[in-house]
Amino acid sequence: MRNPRGIALIGVTLALGVAATIEPAFGDPPKLSDVDVQVDDADRVRQVTPRTPRSAPEGQQDLRSAGQAHAGHLALRFDTRVGDLEVRSSRSTGGGGIVKLQQIIDGVPVLGGQVVEVLDKSGALVSAHGKVARTRDGAFPEDRDAAGTGAARAAVERAAQDSGNRTEDLRAVSTEPYWYDKSLFEEGATRAAVPAFQVTVAGEQPEDLWSVIVDANKKSSLAFWSETHEALNRTVCDANRRIIDSRFPWTFACGTAFQISRKEGNASSAIDDVNKVYDFFGDTAEFYADKTGLDLTNLIGVDRWDGAGKALRATVRACARVDGEVHCPWRNAFWHPLAQQMVFGEGVSTDDVAGHELTHGVTEHRSGLVYRGEPGAINEALSDIFGEFVDLTNGSSDDTVANRWKIGEGSTLGVIRDMKNPSAHNDPDRKGSELWHKRFDTPRENSRFVHINSGVGNKAAFLIADGGSFNGQTVEGIGIDKSAALWWTVQNMLTSSADYAELGKVLNTACRQNAAGSVAGTTSADCDQVDKAVTATEMTRELRRR
């Protein structure tokens, strides 16, 4: 899954255009004695924790008002020297609520520039985490539409150059303006936000989907990564082994390109893949509704005006051209963010794969994790985690002890990852592992990075749920129900540029929020076990106190 706009604006309460007033005097970061501040190796503020919760002003205790009241204070604490922090969404939790602030410069968002406030039930600020750009360089051209058109052309040319495709075989499918600060995503990069466009480029084969960041003025490529990701009203269509073209979603859209083979309430189809996906969509939707209260269809369903209404949609038994050759059967599956539906090759539909791909859609609309580097790895981990939770709770016949925490069992792909033992598939189980994949400066390397380095999050999820001894820590598992509640709070609490350092802090914060509200029976003792899992997987080892 991926988010073509890189930022989640869909929560529950939206407060657009409400800016925090930032106090002047942008010299060195202030010396503050009333808060604990954690910074990373680049001395960028990552978390601010008042030593006692900071109360909201009288009459501003509701989430939206309290979040706005704290925003100016946090702009100073996070050393926000350019732009404003705007309240973009708020969401209640068992222990209080979460308010997401987006950094805005001249009306345009900073990609990955976000701060999340954690509030108690009175609206008091408990903690805040995130990252912001501190400087800017340049301005958007006066004719932004023309600049966007030029950026789209440049993005297609860059994608063609790196992928070996012809430019005429590629298509820019979306172009969105952002300020882009490379240091929000890469250690050691130049720290300045520049005006840019995020362009999504699609090719003919399903694996060809990229994001290209293009300088709005120079039309040079600043970043380039692959967006490829290896439902209750349900509609499932059968491609019947026809070839799809991912440049044009209408060539595989269920309900338009292909007729519906089975929709909600209908009898079984003669096609096994159709029935499996229909059932697994139901399992995933039921899990989210039961464990998180989320209406999956309402969040990621789509209406194609075909009489089926807003529905979770999938096309199965699709074939594809890969590297110029027709693959039929095609051994893959993906969530397409623009079509808002899933596509399966023949024989790859399993409960954990379906749950994994649908969770990419959830992540797109909740945390909005950018599908690049560490945010992309966490994106993949969240999909594995919730996909496996579906697998472990739906009573399927393959839920054996030997298969527990394995991804892909029962499909034509076979087991592709082991969350209990990531190193069995050459994936890292901690941040300091020799298996940690370091490069992600090309689309191919990024695709490897996000799928390999998801192992750290996967190992943490296993330890939190089932427990075990690892890397000097002995963790007592808290079970699936509490784990599901924990990771759901995490999903809503992460910023779009979150790295593992942020995930580690958010796991701790989310657990304590759940314990404060007794969510799923979570206790402070459970949070001690979560802390141990974070320590064992070395997520926060790069953070230090200022």
Catalytic residues: 357, 451
Pairing of strands 194-202, 209-215: antiparallel
What is the Cα–Cα distance from 144 to 137, expressed in whole angstroms? 17
What is the Cα–Cα distance from 69 to 53, expressed in whole angstroms? 14
Question: Using an 8 Å Cβ cutoff, are 337 and 2 in contact?
Answer: yes
Unique residue bearing structure tokens 């796991």: 507
Residue 117: partners with Cβ closer than 8 Å, 6 or more residues away: 67, 70, 71, 74, 98, 99, 100, 101, 125, 127, 128
Burial class, 305, CB count within 10 angstroms (exposed 0-12 / middle 13-18 / buried 19+): exposed
Question: Using an 8 Å Cβ cutoff, are 178 and 197 in contact?
Answer: yes
Two tokens at 44?
A: 């960028």
Residue 222: partners with Cβ closer than 8 Å, 6 or more residues away: 180, 182, 194, 196, 213, 214, 215
Please choose, from the candidates 525, 429, 424, 499, the residue with its C-alpha nearest in 3D space to the C-alpha of residue 469.
429
Residue 107: partners with Cβ closer than 8 Å, 6 or more residues away: none
Question: Using an 8 Å Cβ cutoff, are 196 and 222 in contact?
Answer: yes
Question: Using an 8 Å Cβ cutoff, are 179 and 194 in contact?
Answer: yes
What is the Cα–Cα distance from 138 to 236, expressed in whole angstroms? 48
Two tokens at 362?
A: 């959830």
Please choose, from the candidates 408, 405, 411, the residue with its C-alpha nearest in 3D space to the C-alpha of residue 385.
405
What is the Cα–Cα distance from 420 to 501, expressed in whole angstroms? 21
Residue type, 13: T
Two tokens at 175?
A: 């172009």
DSSP 242: P
Unique residue bearing structure tokens 């480029």: 201
Please choose, from the candidates 224, 218, 222, the residue with its C-alpha nearest in 3D space to the C-alpha of residue 161.
224
